[in-house]
Structure 1
Amino acid sequence: MSQRELRNKINISALVHDVSNAVVSESIVLKQMIDGEYGSNLQEIKTILISLWQTNNRVIQLIEMYQNHQSRDRVIGLNPSLINEFDFGDLLNNVYQEYMPKAINRGLRLHYKTCTKYVHGTRVRGDAIHLHRMCSNLLQNALSYTETGDIFLRLLNQGDDLVVLIEDTGVGIEPEDLANIFLPFYRGTISSPGSGLGLYIAMMVAYSHGLKLSVDSVVGKGTIFTIKFPYQVNNSYGVDATIPKKSRLSHALPGRH
């Protein structure tokens, strides 16, 4: 199989993976709405309807991007035509609202924690569709591997950097798996319910935006994924002229240059 054929196989598999996750989430919410969990009139259910509408729009945009031949040949992570400046706190709040029903359905407590003030604010430059995709896959991973307890989505500062933490109280990751979890189709030694693509997608998005994605995990206690937006003087956070034009998996993965 040529590199192009492999890239296309990974891209279509990743698309199916993310669309499937979105459809499952929407199905859960719709069932909860039918059961009256969000209220009985339009005003009461308006917030959750907006969340469903936003999720559906992102799915449509992902499909349209793949249908574009140029995008189909591009490695997952960043569409230059979609780079814009936006508030990352708003994006995370949308992710939180989208996944709250799924957490409730699994009997888990999902928390979104922010700071009262940020050193350089929370606006970033980047591809919002793919950055949402990154956070969604990391949060979905936390939900998939947590049977009981809490999941925390945090936005904070570490010095000048803007940092996202996704922390769970799940099964954890075996030490021998940590070096491979970001490889496409890799499934660890702990029984995996997924396809082995979610963490790969997250890493490729992070790398293509110049972000640092790392993981700390203790088996039986939980996992913390850290996304760091390095501060750039005069440029704030996100994409700048130094970001590589083409993302390669070997460049994205630690120790595989």
Structure 2
Amino acid sequence: MSQAKFINKINISTLLHDVSNAVVNESVVLKQMMDGEYGSTLQEIKTILISLWQTNNQVIQLIDRYQSHQSRDRVIGLNPSLINEFDFGDLLNNLYQEYRPKVINRGLKLHYETCTGYLHGTRVRGDAIHLYRMCSNLLQNALSYTETGDIFLRLLNQGDDLVVLIEDTGVGIEPEDLANIFLPFYRGTISSPGSGLGLYIAMMVAYSHGLKLSVDSVVGKGTIFTIKFPYQVNNYYGVDATIPKKSRLTHALPGRH
């Protein structure tokens, strides 16, 4: 397969991957609403409806980007024209609202933990849609590999840096898989439904934003993914419009610098 065809396959596959995940999540929530799990009045279900609307809006924007010739090669890369400043705490709260019903449906517990204060706030510069995809795929991975117990979504400081932790009490990752889990279409030795693209998407988004994405895992105990936003010399987190327009795949993958 030529490089151009492979890149096109990656772009289409990652788009379908995230659209499919969003549709499945929404389907679970809609069924719960039909069963009256969130109440029967508009006021009772308003928070859930807002979450569904936000998820659906992101899917529409993602599809629109792919249909744009200027953005097609950046389905998981970074387009400088789409960089905005926003509150990352709000993004994670929206993610929590989206995933909480699905986690509950699986008999698990999802915890969203924040600090009472942050050294430099929680506003970041970046592509909000892609950063949401990054965190969503990591959270989906935690859900896929956790049969019992808890999933934790945390936003905290480590020194000056802003850090996101996504932790689960799942099956863990085999040591021989750790070096390859971010490769496209890679499936680990512990089988589970999926395409092998979620962690690849997360890594590519992190790399394009200059973030540090790492993983620690113990088989039988669980996994922790850490996303670190380094505090920049100009007193902000994230990126600005001066970043390169394209990122090389080989630079983003572990051990391939």
- TM beyond 0.5: yes
Deviation at 1:78, TM superposition (A): 1.7
* Percent identity for Structure 1 against Structure 2: 91
For residues 74 and 29 of structure 1, what CA distance do their matches in structure 2 show? 30
Deviation at 1:235, TM superposition (A): 3.5
The answer on whether the counterparts of 1:172 and 1:219 sit within 8 Å (CA) in structure 2 is yes
What secondary structure is seen at the aligned counterpart in 2 of 1:167? strand
**Alignment TM-score, normalising by the size of structure 1:** 0.98
Deviation at 1:109, TM superposition (A): 0.2
The answer on whether the counterparts of 1:77 and 1:201 sit within 8 Å (CA) in structure 2 is no
* 2:70 equivalent in structure 1: 70
The answer on whether the counterparts of 2:83 and 2:240 sit within 8 Å (CA) in structure 1 is no
The structure-2 alpha-carbon separation of the partners of 1:7 and 1:75, relative to structure 1 and needing over 3 Å to count, comes to farther
For residues 99 and 213 of structure 2, what CA distance do their matches in structure 1 show? 21
For residues 110 and 20 of structure 2, what CA distance do their matches in structure 1 show? 21
Deviation at 1:82, TM superposition (A): 1.3
The structure-2 alpha-carbon separation of the partners of 1:16 and 1:241, relative to structure 1 and needing over 3 Å to count, comes to closer
For residues 237 and 139 of structure 2, what CA distance do their matches in structure 1 show? 22
Deviation at 1:70, TM superposition (A): 2.1
Number of residue pairs the alignment of both structures matches: 257
Deviation at 1:188, TM superposition (A): 0.4
For residues 47 and 184 of structure 2, what CA distance do their matches in structure 1 show? 35
In structure 1, runs of 5+ residues without a counterpart are none
The answer on whether the counterparts of 2:79 and 2:245 sit within 8 Å (CA) in structure 1 is no
Deviation at 1:192, TM superposition (A): 2.1
The structure-2 alpha-carbon separation of the partners of 1:40 and 1:241, relative to structure 1 and needing over 3 Å to count, comes to closer
User: Alpha-carbon deviations, 1:93-137, whole Å to 9, x = none?
Assistant: 000000001100100100000000101000000000000000000
For residues 3 and 244 of structure 1, what CA distance do their matches in structure 2 show? 20
Deviation at 1:233, TM superposition (A): 2.1
User: Alpha-carbon deviations, 1:202-243, whole Å to 9, x = none?
Assistant: 000000000000000000000000000000122310003664
What secondary structure is seen at the aligned counterpart in 2 of 1:70? coil
The answer on whether the counterparts of 1:4 and 1:73 sit within 8 Å (CA) in structure 2 is no
Runs of 4+ with >2 A deviation:
240-245
For residues 70 and 244 of structure 2, what CA distance do their matches in structure 1 show? 17
For residues 75 and 3 of structure 2, what CA distance do their matches in structure 1 show? 11
For residues 2 and 165 of structure 2, what CA distance do their matches in structure 1 show? 37
CA RMSD of aligned residues (A): 1.1
For residues 74 and 95 of structure 1, what CA distance do their matches in structure 2 show? 22
